[in-house]
Amino acid sequence: MNADDYLTQINNITDPDQFYEDLIQAHDGLSANQSQQLNSRIILLMANQIADNRRLKELITLAKMSLDVT
């Protein structure tokens, strides 16, 4: 498995459905602004787990590429 597989090919989460449900439920009852803030904080916490600057930069680039605004 190469680095790119790990980033985009394979879902590495043990139970993707469980994570997705937890993520959506966390937003229940929040205003648009609160939702935004929640997402921002989740991203920062997750980034701290990924830790590696090179990898974080790659992820940001990948996300932005798929947004089609680059």
Partner 1 sequence: MEKLSFGQKPKVLVVGAGPIGLAAALEFSNFEIQTLVVDELSEINRASKAICWSQRSLEILNRVGLAEQFIKKGSTWKKGRVFKAEEEIYNFNLQVEAGFKAPAFINLQQYYVEQFLIDKLKEFEYPVLRRGHKVVDISLTKDNRALVQIEHDQDMYKVIADYVVAADGVRSTIRKALELEMQGNYFDEQFLIVDVKVNRSFPLERKFWFQPKFHDGQSALLHVQPDNILRIDLQLGPNMDPELELDEERVRARVNKILGSDVDYKLEWISLYSFSCKRMQRFRHGPIFFVGDAAHAVSPFGARGGNGGIQDIDNLVWKVSSVIKGKASRALLDTYDEERIPAADENLLNSARSTGFMTPKTQASVDFREAVFELSKTMPFARDFINSGRLSQPYKYIGSSLVSEDDISFCSDGILPGQSILDAPIFIGRNQTWLIDQIANAFSLVAFVDEEKTALSIPEYLDEVCGQLDLVEQYLVVTSKRLNGTSKKFLYDATGLAFERWAAYDGTIYLVRPDHHIAARWKETPTILELKQAYRKSISL
Interface positions with partner 1 (CB under 8 A): 7-13, 16-17, 20-21, 23-24, 27-28, 30, 32, 35, 39, 62, 66-67
Smallest gap from residue 30 Cβ to partner 1 (A) = 7
Q: What are phi and psi of 21, to 5 degrees?
A: -65, -45
Closest distance between partner 1 and the C-beta of residue 2, in Å? 14
Nearer to partner 1, 11 or 48 (CB): 11
59 touches 50 (CB < 8 A): yes
